[in-house]
Amino acid sequence: MTATLSPAVPDTAPDPAPGVPARSPLEVASALLAVLGDTTTEPRRDMQLEALTLAVAADLPVLLWGEPGIGKTAAVTQLAEELELPLTTVIASVHEPSDFSGLPVVGDDPATQGVPMAPPDWAVRLVRQGRGLLFLDELSTAPPAVQAALLRLVLERRVGALGLPEGIRIVAAANPRASAADGWELSAPLANRFVHLPWLHDSEVVVRGLGGTWPRATLPRLDPAELPRAVGLARRAVCGLLTARPKLVHQLPANEARRGGAWPSPRTWDMALRLIAFATAAGAPRDVLSLLVRGVVGDGPGLELLASMDRMDLPDPEDVLADPAGAELPQRGDLRQAVLEAVVAAVGARPTRERWDAAWSLLVRAMETGAPDLVVVPATTLAALRQDEWDVPAAIERLAGVVDLSRRADRAAARVANADAGAARAAR
């Protein structure tokens, strides 16, 4: 049997060029890692990132919720780099309560001078820097005693006897309890101090980022001319809702898991007011504002607040009745129907022939400029308000076909539903 000879493979790297010092394998590996880490950023619409930067601008503590490996830490690191803020990372679960509440240090005369609570080194560094981003990572793995010690840090920005400067922003990250290592539910007092933002992956963002380009995190640009209007709008929105729905002022969830998220309290309504003002002054998109509002008071109250804000800009029913031909009707179907129903309700509250006729003129105009089905309910209600001495206006004839068609469609749908129910009973 004949052996096959292979060419010899050198076990060392090629000799460097003359005059160039030899590089060790680890130096070459480090050079490759540096090339891999050489990424850039670009302006790109990212709803999560916009919500995060707006909350940071509003100086509210933010808590990012997401599964492991989703990119929470990378997002905070990139945020600090883009904002040119020194980043201080504290893993909450590996610290003792005294690392946040301060360690007692006995002085020369504790009876007269007391026992000061000495802050940890990371807090001292933050004060020396005067500005920075404090990142509290793995918050859901911190035991209850550590969570209790964090309360004063998150709300009052104090660590022991040391107060953090105003230039410090706080961002935290947590995994859901089911996917956290030895996870705990977040305590209700601590959860109520944060803006809760779900952190999800966007495949397009990930693919482009792995290609070397990530979205750019920039603080929102606030319009100085909009500041008074933004604050007024925010106050009217929150106060108007809570006046109409006083039970929403404070609702502590009965479920332990829900207590660890966003829920309404006077504190979080104040946070919502601030976020609305900042979002308005920055011209933030509606979906970003929705994320932020629901992240402080919860989904249900947050959606109610957003709906009430939509109705704040609706025209006054009396103004519409005074000039039905010139009134501006919203394009969104739900808002348009709200205006029509409000006008009909105003006629019902003070019925006169002139107001009744004006309402019919408005309904005809709404039918001609939008979805006809939106006028069915208001037209039916308005017709029921007619008094015997009032003549039927000609406008009703133009609406009769729409109302009749809607009723026939309802009857057809009812017949189909009854037939399906009968078939289901027969199948049993």
Distances (CA, A) of 170 to 51, 189, 215, 237: 14, 17, 21, 27
Q: What is the pLDDT of residue 247?
A: 93
The answer to whether residue 301 scores a pLDDT higher than 80 is yes
Contact 360, 326 (CB under 8 A): no
For residue 152, being part of any structural domain is answered with: yes
Band (pLDDT 50/70/90 cuts) for residue 405 is very low
Q: What is the pLDDT of residue 106?
A: 66
**Pair (292, 337) in one structural domain:** no
Residue after which a domain boundary falls, among 260, 280, 312: 312
**Pair (197, 51) in one structural domain:** yes
The answer to whether residue 131 scores a pLDDT higher than 50 is yes
**Pair (305, 332) in one structural domain:** no
Which has more pLDDT, 401 or 55?
55
β partners of residue 91: 137
Which among 190, 188, 198 is positioned nearest to 291, based on CA atoms? 198
For residue 206, being part of any structural domain is answered with: no
For residue 84, being part of any structural domain is answered with: yes
Enter the pTM of the model: 0.74
**Pair (408, 339) in one structural domain:** yes
**Pair (391, 333) in one structural domain:** yes
**Pair (95, 241) in one structural domain:** no
For residue 7, being part of any structural domain is answered with: no
**Pair (342, 281) in one structural domain:** no
Q: What is the mean pLDDT of residues 61-82?
A: 90
Contact 402, 428 (CB under 8 A): no
Mean pLDDT, all residues of the chain: 84
**Pair (53, 194) in one structural domain:** yes
β partners of residue 132: 168
Helix or strand holding residue 276 (H, E): helix 266-282
Q: What is the pLDDT of residue 427?
A: 61
Contact 233, 273 (CB under 8 A): no
> How crowded is the C-beta side of 197, counted as CA atoms within 13 Å?
31
Q: What is the CATH number of the domain that holds 74?
A: 3.40.50.300
For residue 352, being part of any structural domain is answered with: yes
Count the residues in the chain: 428
Distances (CA, A) of 388 to 118, 382, 383: 84, 14, 12
How many domains in the chain?
Answer: 3
Q: What is the pLDDT of residue 9?
A: 47
Band (pLDDT 50/70/90 cuts) for residue 409 is very low
DSSP single-letter state for residue 141: G
Residue after which a domain boundary falls, among 312, 331, 354: 312
**Pair (171, 270) in one structural domain:** no
Q: What is the pLDDT of residue 192?
A: 95
Q: What is the mean pLDDT of residues 42-66?
A: 92
Contact 279, 223 (CB under 8 A): no
Which has more pLDDT, 147 or 5?
147
Encoding tokens for residue 278? 């900042």
**Cα(219)–Cα(82) distance, integer angstroms:** 9
Which has more pLDDT, 379 or 397?
379
Which has more pLDDT, 45 or 427?
45
Q: What is the pLDDT of residue 179?
A: 67
**Cα(318)–Cα(344) distance, integer angstroms:** 10
The answer to whether residue 329 scores a pLDDT higher than 80 is yes
Contact 341, 378 (CB under 8 A): yes
Band (pLDDT 50/70/90 cuts) for residue 111 is low
Band (pLDDT 50/70/90 cuts) for residue 193 is very high
**Pair (185, 325) in one structural domain:** no
For residue 20, being part of any structural domain is answered with: no
Q: What is the pLDDT of residue 414?
A: 55
Q: In terms of residue numbers, what domain contains 383? A: 317-422
Q: What is the pLDDT of residue 237?
A: 93
Encoding tokens for residue 111? 């009876």
**Pair (136, 192) in one structural domain:** yes
Q: What is the mean pLDDT of residues 52-66?
A: 95
**Cα(105)–Cα(305) distance, integer angstroms:** 48
Which has more pLDDT, 416 or 90?
90
Q: What is the pLDDT of residue 384?
A: 86
Q: What is the mean pLDDT of residues 161-173?
A: 91
For residue 4, being part of any structural domain is answered with: no
The secondary structure of 175-196 as a DSSP string is --GGGSTT--PPPHHHHTTSEE
Amino acid at 70: I
Q: What is the mean pLDDT of residues 288-295?
A: 96
Q: What is the mean pLDDT of residues 389-400?
A: 73
Q: What is the mean pLDDT of residues 115-122?
A: 80
- To the nearest 10 degrees (0 to 180), the angle between helices 353-369 and 395-427 is 70
**Cα(171)–Cα(90) distance, integer angstroms:** 11
Residue after which a domain boundary falls, among 267, 295, 312: 312
The answer to whether residue 1 scores a pLDDT higher than 70 is no
For residue 213, being part of any structural domain is answered with: no
Contact 119, 162 (CB under 8 A): yes
**Pair (156, 292) in one structural domain:** no
Q: What is the pLDDT of residue 92?
A: 84
CB atoms within 10 A of CB 276: 26
Encoding tokens for residue 275? 């976020």
